[in-house]
Amino acid sequence: MLVRIAVVVAGVVLGVAAVRAAGRSGGLSFAGDPVGAVALLVAGWAVLAGALVLGRRRPTVRTSALLVAVAGTWFVAEWNHAGAGSALGFTLGSALFAASPALVAWTALGYPTGRLESRLDVALVATTLAACLLLGVLPALFFDPRATGCAGCPANLLLIGDDAGLSLRLGRIGLTVAAGALVAVVLAMVWRTVTASAARRRAVLPLTLTGGGFLLLAAVRFLAGRDRGFVGSSPLDRRLWLAQAILLTALGAAVVWSIVRERRARSRIAGLVVRLGHPADPGGLRQSIAQTLADPGLVLGYPVDGGRYVDAAGDPVDTSPGPGRASTPVVLDGTEVAVLVHRPGLSDDALLLAEVAGAARLGLEQEGRRARLRAREHDLRTSRARLVEAGDAERRRLERDVHDGAQQRLIALLLGARTLHLRLARQPGSEATAILDEVSARLGRAVEELRVVAQGIHPAVLSDEGLLAAVDALAEELARPVSVDIGDARYPASVENAAYRVVAEAARCGLSGVVARRRDGALVLDVLASSVPERLVDLEDRVGALDGTLRVREEPGGAVRLRAEIPCG
Amino acid sequence: MRVIVADDSMLLREGLARLLTEAGINVLATVATADAALREVALSLPDVAIVDIRMPPTHTDEGIVAAQEIRRRHPEVGVLVLSQYLQSRYATRLLEEVPERVGYLLKDRVADIAVLGDALRRIADGECVLDPTIVARLVRRRAQGVAEQLTQRELEVLQLMAEGRTNGAIGRRLGLSEKTVEAHVRHIFVKLDLPVSPDDHRRVLAILALLRDGQVTP
């Protein structure tokens, strides 16, 4: 806090002092007239404003310091004239008059953290700084203002020996080198901006334009001053300087603006946190995050066993990025909690993603747990349905075996017995026929019993003809009349099996009526019996394994109604 | 009586053939597939061909298809179709296309030589035979609608008609004179609004349709 106050005070003081120094320069300084003064102050203080705003956040403190230096050298350049007043001021002004472009170059290349990313950048900035400092320092070593006939000029503290010619030559060289370096920096900045991703370009473009423009103008001024050997004060120079002032103001404004925008993004995140404070339904989290990141097509996936991903409802979701999308894992405490599939520009704004992940942390963990539970539920359900189907298939196979094996043999035996009976009937020997009669009768009963057993395992007519035929056959065996109202429609095998089981169980408890209809893609079965089936739990399990429901209700008059609704989808 | 037997199960084929032979029926050949049945019929022209409904390759309705083919190519040869269980749809299909010299029996009945012999004779005589169990099931299903309109005696006559029996046979079964049976039949037809037809076979169809669907197909 103290630092900030000190910077503000220093900035004001330095600015005002610079104006006064400019006023005393006798027309050599551009800030001598009111317009120039305003331009000088506004530019310098705009840069300072940017520095103050950046100074708040830790990552950008370096840039903040750089900007303070820019403002400082911008003001100090006004002491590069005879009216500087003090020797120190004049010396500083002479040495540092070209420093601000170099510092702006450093700021622009290192934005926003102030760290230079590549060796090339470091080389460029070092060269530019060196060129600009030397441009100020070297000629000053050999320049004595008093020797040029300026009696009221302050002394040059750096003076080694007066050699105006050498000073000019050094100045010329310095101007050329500095201009070249600045142009190189501008080229590097433009290249960086053009090849950046869309998001980064958005962030860096204002600085590139204002900073780059400022540097180009500086380079032009340097080149224009080559003939003279020093940067001059012609009307052209003045116009260029005013343009520089405008660009510098814009630079400061751009910095402030970028921070404002970031604050707005943060408040959106704060809004996200508030929204997340209210328990959301599954999918609500995805929506909140999508809104915050302004990416409506955002996909949010939670990892489950087996390397799969599911959404909040436990349904499988595809997290491969595909064209035009990028995927980013959300990692909290070292484990992957979720995966976001988003538009590519977001990957660059790592800060934003990290903030969103942090804000949504609790919600992500919770929803992730729920999603995994749902996915497991789903797996259990499919495995249960598979088990039931496997059981049904086994029964069908068993019935086939009984039918093709034992039953055939018994019928053949029966035929044999009847044949023998016929033959013996023509001959005397009634005991044989009597014995055969008995054998035939027993065989007949065995055939009948086996048929009933096979039907109990799995009625072949159910697979072949459907529920109506099977229930008809069943009803036929019963003593009481049963009213059967089932359409001809066929349903999936597992559904028909389950429905038949319900009817078969009810048949042991006084079945009196069966109604079956297809409604809304499900089989609705109504069975009337005189008591509740013993193995009701088995029936519920069977029906439940197919995602169906079985309800039992007592009807007036003591009858029992079983209603099964089994989806056929 | 000359017959051929077609069934893909060797046990049943041979067993049935032996039983029929013992009962005095001449078994010309036994075959295992529908194609072989058609060939044998063409070769030996039996009175009746006994055919199992389920035969290779699909084991669904090859028997019915073979029966229709036999009736089409050799109208003087009758067909008795044996089925494992009540498949009323196949029964009506068989009867709709070839209402004469055709029979449909449950395999359960096969060992009862009396029923089998009776069916074979009736088919050879040109009637159509429907397993009484099938008819009973159909009647029971439609019991409500039909029984309201008919007397008990008329219901019995209806059931026997549905089995494909002649008026004379019905009369012998119920202990009535043929004239009484004819009167009952007229009443039934009027009450149920059935088209009057002297053709025994057609009336089976009409009655079957009524029992199955609750309405008469023209």
pLDDT, tens only, A73-111:
888 888 777 666 677 777 788 778 888 888 988 988 888
Name the pTM for this structure.
0.53
In A100-223, the DSSP E strands lie at none
Beta-strand ranges (E) seen in A413-559 are 483-486, 513-519, 522-529, 549-554
Predicted confidence (pLDDT) at residue A331 exceeds the cutoff of 60? yes
Minimum mean pLDDT among A176-180, A508-512, B128-132: which range? B128-132
Chains A and B form CB pairs within 8 A to the count of 67
Range A219-227, long-range pairs (CB < 8 A, 24+ positions): A219/A101, A219/A178, A219/A179, A219/A182, A219/A183, A219/A186, A220/A179, A222/A98, A222/A135, A222/A175, A222/A176, A222/A178, A222/A179, A222/A182, A223/A175, A223/A176, A223/A179, A225/A171, A225/A175, A226/A172, A226/A175, A226/A176
pLDDT band (50, 70, 90) for residue A418: confident
d(CA B17, CA B30): 7
Using an 8 Å CB-CB cutoff, list chain A residues near B107. 411
Window from A273-287, A371-385, B33-47 with minimum mean pLDDT: A273-287
Instruction: Give B-chain residues touching A460 at CB under 8 angstroms.
Output: 84-85
**A423 touches B at CB < 8 Å:** yes
A223 vs A217: CA distance, rounded Å: 10
Long-range contacts of A90-94 (CB under 8 A, 24+ apart): A90/A145, A90/A153, A90/A154, A90/A155, A90/A156, A91/A140, A91/A156, A91/A157, A91/A158, A94/A136, A94/A140, A94/A143, A94/A156, A94/A158
Other C-beta atoms closer than 10 Å to the C-beta of A26 total: 12
* Res A276 pLDDT > 70: no
Place of tokens 């090339």: A120
Burial classification of residue B74, based on how many CB atoms lie within 10 Å of its CB (0-12 exposed, 13-18 middle, 19 or more buried) = middle
**pLDDT > 60? residue B195:** yes
Structure letter (DSSP) for residue B149: T
User: Is A544 an 8 Å CB contact of chain B?
Assistant: no
Dmax of chain A from CA atoms? 167
DSSP H helical segments within A29-163, as ranges? Answer: 34-55, 61-76, 87-96, 99-110, 119-141
The verdict on a CB contact (< 8 Å) between B137 and A476 is: yes
DSSP string across A356-370: HHHHTHHHHHHHHHH
ipTM: 0.71
Band the pLDDT of B5: cuts 50, 70, 90: very high
Q: Is residue A564 predicted with pLDDT exceeding 90?
A: yes
Q: Which residue has the higher pLDDT, A127 or A356?
A: A127
Q: If you average pLDDT over residues B197-201, what whole number do you get? A: 60
Token code pair at residue A135: 């441009």
CA–CA separation, A85 vs A197, rounded Å?
A: 50
Q: Does B83 touch chain A (CB under 8 A)?
A: no
Q: Which residues pair with A336 in a beta bridge?
A: A331
Residue A108 structure tokens: 């622009």
A284: left (phi > 0), else alpha (psi -120 to 50), else beta?
alpha
pLDDT confidence bin for A522, thresholds 50/70/90: very high
Percent of chain A with pLDDT over 90: 14
Q: How confident is the model at residue B200 (pLDDT cuts 50, 70, 90)?
A: low
C-beta separation of B195 from B218 below 8 A: yes
Residue B217: per-residue pLDDT: 41
Q: Give CA angle at A183 (A234, A40), nearest 5°.
A: 45
- Choice between A162 and B104, residue whose per-residue pLDDT is larger: B104
Q: Is residue B144 over pLDDT 60?
A: no
Most B CBs within 10 Å: which of A396, A399, A407, A422, as the mutation test of the B interface? A422
Question: Within chain B, what is the greatest distance between any pair of CA atoms?
Answer: 51
Check CB contact under 8 Å for B19 and A422: yes
pLDDT score, position A392: 87
pLDDT per residue as tens digits for the range A133-152 = 888 877 777 777 776 666 66
Is the pLDDT at A60 greater than 80? The verdict is no
Cβ within 8 Å, pair B85-A473: yes
Give the confidence band of B216 by pLDDT, cuts at 50, 70, 90.
Answer: very low
Of A152, A154, A158, the closest CA to residue A95 belongs to A158
d(CA B92, CA B217): 12
Residue B108 has pLDDT above 70, yes or no: yes
Q: What is the pLDDT of residue B51?
A: 94
pLDDT over 80 (residue A65): yes
Confidence at B218, pLDDT banded by 50, 70, 90: very low
Residue B9 touches chain A, beta carbons under 8 Å? yes
- Is A444 within 8 Å of chain B by CB? yes
- C-alpha A10/C-alpha A17 separation (Å) is 10
B111's CB contacts (< 8 A; 6+ apart) are A411, A414, A415, A418, A440, A444, A447, B19
Residue B131's SS3 state is coil
Model confidence band, residue A517 (pLDDT cutoffs 50, 70, 90): very high
Check A481 against B140: CB less than 8 A apart: yes
- Closest-CA residue to A330 (of A297, A299, A374): A299
pLDDT at A263 over 80: no
Residue A479 class from Cβ within 10 Å (0-12 exposed, 13-18 middle, 19+ buried)? exposed
A460 touches B: beta carbon within 8 Å? yes
Assigned token pair, B139? 């009647």
The arithmetic mean of pLDDT across residues B74-100, rounded, is: 78
pLDDT above 90 for A258: no
Residue A469 touches partner B, C-beta closer than 8 Å: yes
Amino acid at A181: A
Q: Tell me whether A476 touches chain B (CB under 8 Å).
A: yes
Which one-letter DSSP state was computed for residue B82? Answer: E
Using 50, 70 and 90 to split pLDDT, how confident is the model at A416?
confident
* CA–CA gap between residue A254 and residue A103 (Å, rounded): 17
pLDDT tens digits, one per residue of A156-191? 777 777 777 777 788 888 888 888 999 999 999 999
Mark yes or no for CB contact A422/B86 under 8 Å: no
CB B51 within 8 A of CB B79: yes
Q: How far apart are CA A515 and CA A528, in angstroms?
A: 9
What does the pLDDT look like over A373-408, one tens digit per residue? 988 888 888 888 888 888 888 888 888 888 778 888
Backbone angles phi, psi at A303, to 5 degrees: -80, 140
The minimal CB distance from B23 to the residues A408, A422, A460 is found for A422
Mark yes or no for CB contact B108/A447 under 8 Å.
yes
What confidence tier does B148 reach under pLDDT thresholds 50, 70, 90?
low
* A490 touches B at CB < 8 Å: no
A225 compared with A212, residue with greater pLDDT: A212
Nearest to A469 among B23, B60, B86 (CB): B86
Q: Does the beta carbon of B43 lie under 8 angstroms from any beta carbon of chain A? A: no
For residue A492, give how far its alpha carbon lies from the nearest alpha carbon of chain B (Å).
19
SS (H, E, C) A375-394: HHHHHHHHHHHHHHHHHHHH
Residues 6+ apart with CB under 8 A from B21: B27
Confidence (pLDDT) at A315: 85
Question: Is B56 within 8 Å of chain A by CB?
Answer: no
Selection from A440, A527, A445 nearest residue A485 by Cα: A527
Instruction: Please give the share of chain A, as a percent, with pLDDT higher than 70.
Output: 92
Closest residue in chain B to residue A470, using alpha carbons only: B86
Mean pLDDT over each residue of chain A, to the nearest integer: 83
- Rounded CA-CA distance A160/A158 in Å is 6
Question: Is B65 within 8 Å of chain A by CB?
Answer: no
The whole-angstrom distance between B16's CA and the closest CA on chain A is 6
* A299-308, A377-386, B70-79, B144-153, range with the lowest pLDDT: B144-153
Q: Identify all chain B residues contacting A451, using CB atoms and an 8 Å cutoff.
A: 108
> Could you tell me the end-to-end alpha-carbon distance of chain A, in angstroms, rounded to an integer?
69
User: Is A30's pLDDT higher than 70?
Assistant: yes
Identify the pLDDT of residue B2. 95
According to the model, what pLDDT value does residue A365 have?
84
